Amino acid sequence: MRNFRLIGIIGLLLGTISAVGQSSKKEAWVDSVFNTMSLDQKIGQLFVVATFSNKDEAEYSKMEKLVRQQHLGGLIFMQGNPKSQVQLINRYQRAAKVPLLISQDAEWGLAMRLKGVPRYPKNMTLGAIQNDSLIYRMGREMGKDLRRVGVNWNFAPSVDINNNPKNPVINFRSFGEDKYNVARKGVMIMKGMQGVGVMAAAKHFPGHGDTDTDSHYSLPLINHDQVRLDSLELYPFMKMTRAGVASVMVGHLHIPALDTIKNRPTSLSPSVVNGLLRSKMNYDGLIVTDALNMKGVTKSVKPGHVALNAFKAGNDVLLFPSNIPLSIKTMKIALQQGEIAEGALNERVKRVLRAKYDCSLHTFKPINPDGISSYIYRKEAQILRKQLYESAITLAKNDKILIPLKDLEKRKIALVQIGGSKNSTLFRTLSKYDKVTPINLPNNFTPQQQAQALKKLESFNTVIIGVFGMKRSAKDNFGITLGTKMISEKLSGLGKDVILTLFGSPYALNQFGTEKAILVAYEGVKEAQEAAAKAIFGGMVVNGRLPVTAGPKFKAGTGRLILKPTRFGFSYPEEEGMDSQRLQEIDGLVKYYIQKKAMPGAAVLVLKGNNIVYEKGFGSTQYGDKGRKIHPYLHTYDLASVTKVAATTVGSMFLYEKGMLDLDKPLQTYLPELKGTNKSRLTVRRLMQHNAGLAGWLSVYQQTYADTKRKRLDKKYYSYYPSRSHNTQIAPALYGSHELDKLFIQTLKESPVNRTTRVKYSDVGLIVTGMTVEKIARRPLDEYMDYVFYNRLGMNKTSFNPHSQKKEKYCPPTEADVSWRQAVIKGYVHDPNSAIMGGVAGHAGLFSNVYDLTKLMLMLKNGGTYGGDRFLKEETIKYFTRQQLSYSRRGLGWDKPARKGEKSSPCSKYASRTTFGHTGFTGTAVWVDPAYDLVFVFLSNRTYPDQSNRLLYRENVRSKIHDKVYQSIFTYNQKKKARLVK
């Protein structure tokens, strides 16, 4: 124990010695620079001047001259772009004898000032977040961005307490009205920024929150007594100064309790700056004025004297005065006349120089302008922005727990979007969960437009209202029009489930309340829109709380919780333990095989945990210019044999669980028409294990030619026009007769049964299983699956026979059939036997997109639940998806990874033994791996234009792509391990 104590004491001493050493180095540098300075140079060090990176050469030359001649201490960059800013910083630093402090007013990151960069949430949004570690991370990432573009001083955060809803200038720039929340958030951002070498500035001292005047145009009055100021306004500043904030910015306010001189701004008040901040609060960091060109401070002071008065008040840095040469001249005269002491000047110049040393400006090197964009858009920063907007989402009201939405099969949902773009992120994300009909209105819609919208909404029982284009100011009513209020009230009055989502100020809540559910998303950026959609459908946790009070119904701190997701969400791969770069290799593989003409296009989706981490469409619906670009949401593919699991097997699992299907009873129990045939004693279990001895396929259509050689169809079976006898549509202009049904059933009954237990993959077995399901359910397979699964899961893009619903334009074609159907097969099932059966069969016929299949597969991965609803028991899923026979890899209906010794596997070689799924003849695949918490969906139309194209099979393309999913997990873990070792 003594040894440990000794080691601790030694460590403490070494740390102290190191700190002392650093301090002495700093002071040595400060003295070496200070001792070479003239009076003009010393005065110049106190001034920070505004500049721009989006002007012309004349402006840049003028600024370069000002830096050189007036010996400026620093610059504040306003509008521009990152690369130009860096180039100008290098130029101006070369012109400066003493390195310049480079500052920016970037409260929500570079996007506040520069174009072409992503923005972080504003403070009001951050105020809703309960996890303060996210705020710290934001400070770090924001600081990294600033450092990359040459900034070492950020005039942020604003720690004003916004307890006045009418505040026109602070408002959304505040963390809210709760002093503890404001202080915590401010400290976290400050620590994050300063941890990466960017000075923070707590502003606007002593508190700009409780005023309805904008200091840019006039001098705000805050008429509270000292007790109130100490207990509220000053609290965050006290916490910030004690936590080590590098600087404090003094605002332009008039507070009689702190300064009795009429209309003297706090920024020019010795009793506030020197008395309160420097002496009473014992603050020893940099004190900087707010911009000295603002009318709140210039109205009552003659030109040139604003900076002088600010210096006399005790400020170290004089920001943005209107006339630099005149201001410096006025300061110099005051020094020469003894109006201000040179000792005070020297003290403040040294304080500025120490700050420059702390920002490593004593070793300044030119900044490389290349690669800025890729750095600013780095993955960790993107992930953080997403997490921040998600964490801010606030469920201000949720009557009868409407959110997350349940009972989708009973809902008809519309989105009334007020403002914003028509094809918004909100609409696109909502549509991935269920069918949502958009109705778009401009912000100032007319009574006629309102009436039209209400008419369209009559048949909908669930209405999501998304309000965009909101304003930040109370004088603009926060952008809420009378029409917006009226349409929301009317829909609520009609008894509809109205979900109001505000993409703007939470203060606007005081104008609403009749709605059943209200979400506040705070901002209209795509991350907030996506988060709102996820919250509505249960795709994420919701725990945001209102940072301000908006009337008696919506107090600060209000926020209903959603404790766990019930449907899928969306994440970056790294959030789920996967490597983005490795996962991105899927792109190259798919594009390569499209180029090799293995398929015209494809859609790929990867889900890890509960979140989609990869979703992309590639290529076109067909080769050449005629095809439409594949969109993973819009395009629904013919799933072929994936129907066996996504319809027939899942449907059988439900009936088995309900005791309606006995896997070991003879088929004649369920299908009396098979009595007396060679199939009467077979069981559903053997059919689903593929060991019933049935033929692999039935070539029924080949029996229906009148002339086989010339491929002339028999009129007994076909007509090119619909009629009472020919009403099974097989192709756009081809109709089958009832004789086809009879022929198919007769062929099925007469097909051979090999009396063996050998496994032979068979379409026939699943056709018969599908017939069994229909007989037990007493309805066609498509109606049964819609009722029991698809409608409840929100699988609105999943159906048999999409052509019958006029949806064939969204279906990539599967073949240019020149022999039998003599047409391009698009929206009609590709499989001939399924087509003969009317497009609804147990082995083929289902169409879907990657999102709908993910809903079904996620439900199975999650033990039978989705959307807060239970569809199957976990034990049922495990029973059907496990390997059934010692000599076969297959489950009941489900395919599985290759067994040891098998030459090829239908899925990735890395897949666990718990994996289950299926592939389809048209070039499709779905796989669920519970051990790795994965769902993989691959859809293509490799059979177009000719099904003889087997490149996808020969080169095992689907498995190669599936491999990349696992490799991304392995790579992520390797990198994580390497970081830990390092």
SS3 assignment for 83-148:
HHHHHHHHHHHHHCCCCCEEEECCCCCHHHCECCCCCCCCHHHHHCCCCHHHHHHHHHHHHHHHHH
Cα gap 60→548, rounded to integer Å: 43
* pLDDT higher than threshold 90 for residue 8: no
* pLDDT higher than threshold 90 for residue 6: no
pLDDT in tens, 383-437: 999 999 999 999 999 999 999 999 999 999 999 999 999 999 999 999 999 999 9
If you count DSSP H runs as helices and E runs as strands, how many of each does the chain have, helices first? Answer: 33, 32
Is the pTM higher than 0.85? Answer: yes
- Smallest CA-to-CA distance from 897 within 951, 952, 936 is with 936
pLDDT in tens, 573-592: 999 999 999 999 999 999 99
Are 964 and 593 in contact, with CB atoms under 8 Å apart? no
3-state secondary structure of 312: helix
DSSP-assigned letter for residue 59:
H
* pLDDT higher than threshold 60 for residue 225: yes
- Smallest CA-to-CA distance from 730 within 840, 846, 835, 847 is with 835
pLDDT of amino acid 221: 86
pLDDT in tens, 137-157: 999 999 999 999 999 999 999
With bands split at pLDDT 50, 70 and 90, how would you rate the model's confidence at 716? very high
Q: What's the whole-number average pLDDT of the chain?
A: 95
Cα gap 847→849, rounded to integer Å: 7
Instruction: Give the number of other Cβ atoms within 10 Å of residue 132's Cβ.
Output: 15
Taking residues 728-747, report their average pLDDT: 94
Q: Any idea which of 546-550, 626-630, 784-788 has the lowest mean pLDDT? A: 626-630
pLDDT of amino acid 337: 95
- Smallest CA-to-CA distance from 154 within 235, 252, 86, 77 is with 77
Q: Which two tokens stand for residue 154?
A: 């950020």
* pLDDT higher than threshold 60 for residue 7: no
* pLDDT higher than threshold 80 for residue 451: yes
pLDDT of amino acid 222: 87
Q: What percent of the chain has pLDDT over 70?
A: 98
Cα gap 388→129, rounded to integer Å: 7
Cα gap 122→111, rounded to integer Å: 11
pLDDT of amino acid 198: 98
Count of residues for the chain? 982
pLDDT in tens, 923-978: 999 999 999 999 999 999 999 999 999 999 999 999 999 999 999 999 999 999 98
Taking residues 274-303, report their average pLDDT: 90
Q: Any idea which of 139-148, 165-174, 463-472 has the lowest mean pLDDT? A: 165-174
pLDDT of amino acid 1: 47
Name, in order, each residue with C-beta under 8 angstroms of 309's C-beta and a sequence gap of 6 or more.
268, 301
- Burial of 943 from C-beta contacts in 10 A (0-12 / 13-18 / 19+): buried
Q: What percent of the chain has pLDDT over 90?
A: 90
With bands split at pLDDT 50, 70 and 90, how would you rate the model's confidence at 167? confident
* Amino acid at residue number 378: R
pLDDT of amino acid 379: 94
C-alpha angle 844/846/848, rounded to 5°?
140
pLDDT in tens, 226-260: 999 999 999 999 999 999 999 999 999 999 999 99
DSSP-assigned letter for residue 594:
H
Q: Which two tokens stand for residue 266?
A: 């706090």
End-to-end CA distance of the chain: 30
pLDDT in tens, 348-360: 999 999 999 999 9
Cα gap 596→954, rounded to integer Å: 13
3-state secondary structure of 816: strand
Are 403 and 517 in contact, with CB atoms under 8 Å apart? yes
pLDDT of amino acid 903: 80
Alpha-carbon separation of residue 141 from 193, 382, 468, 654, 762 (angstroms): 8, 10, 28, 50, 57
**What's phi and psi for 706, nearest 5 deg?**
-75, -35
